[in-house]
Amino acid sequence: MTLNPLIYPAANLICAIAAFAMTDRFVGEAAAVPVVWVAVALALSIGALQFVLARRAKTRLLYQLLSSSSAGISLIFFLMAMFCPIFLIEELSAARKLAVAGGGLALMAANAVYGIRQVRTAWAQSGDGSFDKHYNATTNQLDWDMAVRPLGIRHDLYVPGLPEAAQPLLAVALLVFMLVGAGITDIRPDAGIVIWAVPMFAISAFFVQVLAKQAVLIRRLVTFETRIGRPVAHQPKLGMYRRARKTKRKTRRK
pTM equals 0.84
Give me the pLDDT at residue 192, please.
78
Where do the structural domains in the chain lie, given as residue ranges?
Answer: 7-253
Best CA proximity match to 73, nearest among 209, 183, 186, 211: 211
Give me the pLDDT at residue 243, please.
46
Q: Tell me how far apart the alpha carbons of residues 8 and 74 are, in angstroms, rounded to a whole number.
A: 8
Q: Tell me how far apart the alpha carbons of residues 129 and 174 are, in angstroms, rounded to a whole number.
A: 40
The amino acid at residue 108 is: M
Q: Tell me how far apart the alpha carbons of residues 26 and 85 are, in angstroms, rounded to a whole number.
A: 6
Q: Tell me how far apart the alpha carbons of residues 232 and 136 are, in angstroms, rounded to a whole number.
A: 10
Q: Tens of pLDDT along the chain (254 residues)? A: 455 666 777 777 887 887 777 777 777 777 777 877 888 888 888 888 888 888 888 889 999 999 888 888 888 888 888 777 777 777 778 888 888 889 989 999 999 999 999 999 999 887 778 898 999 999 999 999 998 998 888 888 999 888 878 888 888 888 898 888 877 877 777 777 788 888 889 999 999 999 999 999 999 999 999 999 999 988 877 764 444 445 445 545 54
Give me the pLDDT at residue 248, please.
47
